[in-house]
Amino acid sequence: MIEVQNLTKYFDSIKAVDDITAVIKEGEVFGLVGTNGAGKSTFLRMVSGVIKPDEGFIKIDGYPVYENTEVKKLIFYISDESYFFSNSTPIDLKNYYKVIYNGFDAIRFDEMMRQFGLDSKRKINTYSKGMKKQLTVILGICANTKYLLCDETFDGLDPVMRQAVKSLFAKEIAERGLTPIIASHNLRELEDICDHVGLLHRGGILLSKDLFDMKLSIHKIQCVFKEEANLNEIFGEKEILKVEKRGSLFTITLRGNREEIIAKIDRLNPVFSEVLPLSLEEIFISETEVAGYDIKKLIF
Ligand SMILES: Nc1ncnc2c1ncn2[C@@H]1O[C@H](COP(=O)(O)OP(=O)(O)OP(=O)(O)O)[C@@H](O)[C@H]1O
């Protein structure tokens, strides 16, 4: 289990991570989503023990991670920008990680390199961006760590590879209880694979919930009313996330229980009403809009 308590990190005057508290349970896929500059990479770098928090703490299976070599062996961190030793080949990396991670599966590494069609003898600096991403995923899987931290790992992979990596993760989760934390802007991808989602904005956590519960607690409803409808009379200020009106058709995004929302809308005698499913992307846009990150202000 990863426990994060009041985690805060400054870069000079920038508060990159602001008082984050979260628990990441074993065997769960934790998706980390957020606006640009929200602090996702900084958070992952602290969890992996690369940088030290200024305030708060991180415990991995009960132990602090920073400057703790044994605990670091439980984690493989796939950074968003891959750094490789100059002139190195995948074989060099395999030999390097074999020393670092006791459980590194070198046979599987060779097998996967073949399956992915990557040449182990070729210099990594001649690989394309996507090929480098594939290589880091293979290294991450073969390291056989309990936790796998992925920063934008799906970005830069082609659709077939993204699918292949997703099924690879699913297999590792099912077979050996791998716990991945995946930071991504590709919400469609996260929606397929995550159990729990943490939404970051300006360093802080806007919400952290099971994806299933998240979808049960926010709804989009389309309705047409006979007469002028005053939504503020029946819904509290915090329940209404967004109201759009096109002609007589209202599209309303609301927080709350589905049945209660339908019952309240019915009190306004709609001519028509229908609850529509919300995607993770729509939830993201609604929640960040409430926090002042409004797409309308960004369209020139
Ligand atoms: N090494 C650094 N020095 C100074 N500021 C930094 C450093 N690393 C990150 N920051 C700042 O910390 C904040 C959080 O950055 P971070 O890279 O963690 O965000 P992110 O959520 O991963 O962003 P993105 O989605 O754009 O990749 C930003 O304001 C960024 O400019």
The model's pLDDT over 261-277, given as tens digits with 9 standing for 90+, comes to 999 899 888 999 999 98
Instruction: Let me know the angle formed at the C-alpha of 206 by 202 and 208, rounded to the nearest 5 degrees.
Output: 130
Q: How far is the CA of 17 from the centre of ligand 1 (A)?
A: 9
Reported as a pLDDT band with limits 50, 70 and 90, residue 60 is: very high
Strands across the sheet with 2-11, in order?
Answer: 14-24, 2-11, 55-60, 63-64
The model's pLDDT over 87-112, given as tens digits with 9 standing for 90+, comes to 899 999 999 999 999 999 999 999 99
Asked whether the beta carbons of 156 and 130 are under 8 A apart, the reply is yes
Q: What is the pTM of this model?
A: 0.86
CA–CA separation, 261 vs 235, rounded Å?
9
- Averaged pLDDT, 132-161: 93
**Distances, alpha carbon 169 to alpha carbons 6, 29, 181, 182, 207, in Å:** 29, 9, 11, 11, 25
Name the more confident of 58 and 204: 58
- H, E, C per residue of the chain: CEEEEEEEEEECCEEEEEEEEEEECCCCCEEEEECCCCCHHHHHHHHCCCCCCCEEEEEECCEECCCCHHHHCCEEEECCCCCCCCCCCHHHHHHHHHHHCCCCCHHHHHHHHHHCCCCCCCCHHHCCHHHHHHHHHHHHHHCCCCEEEEECCCCCCCHHHHHHHHHHHHHHHHHHCCEEEEECCCHHHHHHHCCEEEEEECCEEEEEEEHHHHHHCEEEEEEEECCCCCHHHHCCCCCEEEEEEECCEEEEEEECCHHHHHHHHHCCCEEEEEEECCCHHHHHHHHHHHCCCCHHHHCC
Q: How far is the CA of 96 from the centre of ligand 1 (A)?
A: 29
Q: Does the Cβ of 8 fall within 6 Å of ligand 1?
A: no
Reported as a pLDDT band with limits 50, 70 and 90, residue 118 is: very high
Asked whether the beta carbons of 228 and 189 are under 8 A apart, the reply is no
Task: Report the atom number in ligand 1 closest to the C-alpha of 35.
Answer: 25
Name the more confident of 86 and 18: 18
Residue of the nearest CA to atom 11 in ligand 1?
Answer: 16
pLDDT attached to residue 13 = 93
Q: Does the Cβ of 205 fall within 6 Å of ligand 1?
A: no
pLDDT attached to residue 293 = 66
Q: Does the Cβ of 180 fall within 6 Å of ligand 1?
A: no
Q: Does the Cβ of 13 fall within 6 Å of ligand 1?
A: no
Q: The dihedral of CA 260, 264, 269, 275: what is its sign?
A: negative
CA–CA separation, 15 vs 261, rounded Å?
38
Asked whether the beta carbons of 145 and 76 are under 8 A apart, the reply is yes
Task: Report the atom number in ligand 1 closest to the C-alpha of 45.
Answer: 18
Strands across the sheet with 30-34, in order?
Answer: 75-78, 147-151, 179-183, 30-34, 196-201, 204-210
- Averaged pLDDT, 20-24: 92
pLDDT attached to residue 255 = 87
Task: Report the atom number in ligand 1 closest to the C-alpha of 151.
Answer: 22
Q: Is the pLDDT of residue 299 over 70?
A: no
Instruction: Read off the amino acid at residue 277.
Output: P
The model's pLDDT over 217-256, given as tens digits with 9 standing for 90+, comes to 889 999 998 888 788 888 887 888 888 899 889 999 998 8
Select from 276, 255, 267 the least CA-distant residue to 227. Answer: 267
Its ipTM equals 0.97
Which token pair is 177?
Answer: 């209880």
Residue of the nearest CA to atom 17 in ligand 1?
Answer: 41
pLDDT attached to residue 214 = 83
Instruction: Give the domains, in start order, of the chain with CATH numbers.
Output: 2-210 (3.40.50.300), 217-298 (3.30.70)
Which token pair is 173?
Answer: 């989760």
Task: Report the atom number in ligand 1 closest to the C-alpha of 17.
Answer: 14
Q: Does the Cβ of 184 fall within 6 Å of ligand 1?
A: no
In percent, the amount of the chain with pLDDT more than 70 equals 97
Residue of the nearest CA to atom 28 in ligand 1?
Answer: 37
Q: Does the Cβ of 201 fall within 6 Å of ligand 1?
A: no
CA–CA separation, 218 vs 275, rounded Å?
11
Reported as a pLDDT band with limits 50, 70 and 90, residue 14 is: very high
Q: Does the Cβ of 41 fall within 6 Å of ligand 1?
A: yes
Q: How far is the CA of 45 from the centre of ligand 1 (A)?
A: 11
Residue of the nearest CA to atom 31 in ligand 1?
Answer: 37
Residue of the nearest CA to atom 24 in ligand 1?
Answer: 36
Instruction: Let me know the angle formed at the C-alpha of 135 by 129 and 137, rounded to the nearest 5 degrees.
Output: 105
Task: Report the atom number in ligand 1 closest to the C-alpha of 12.
Answer: 4
Q: How far is the CA of 15 from the centre of ligand 1 (A)?
A: 9
Instruction: Let me know the angle formed at the C-alpha of 174 by 169 and 180, rounded to the nearest 5 degrees.
Output: 45
Q: Does the Cβ of 38 fall within 6 Å of ligand 1?
A: yes
Instruction: Let me know the angle formed at the C-alpha of 170 by 168 and 173, rounded to the nearest 5 degrees.
Output: 110
The model's pLDDT over 68-82, given as tens digits with 9 standing for 90+, comes to 999 999 999 999 887
Q: Does the Cβ of 198 fall within 6 Å of ligand 1?
A: no
pLDDT attached to residue 35 = 87
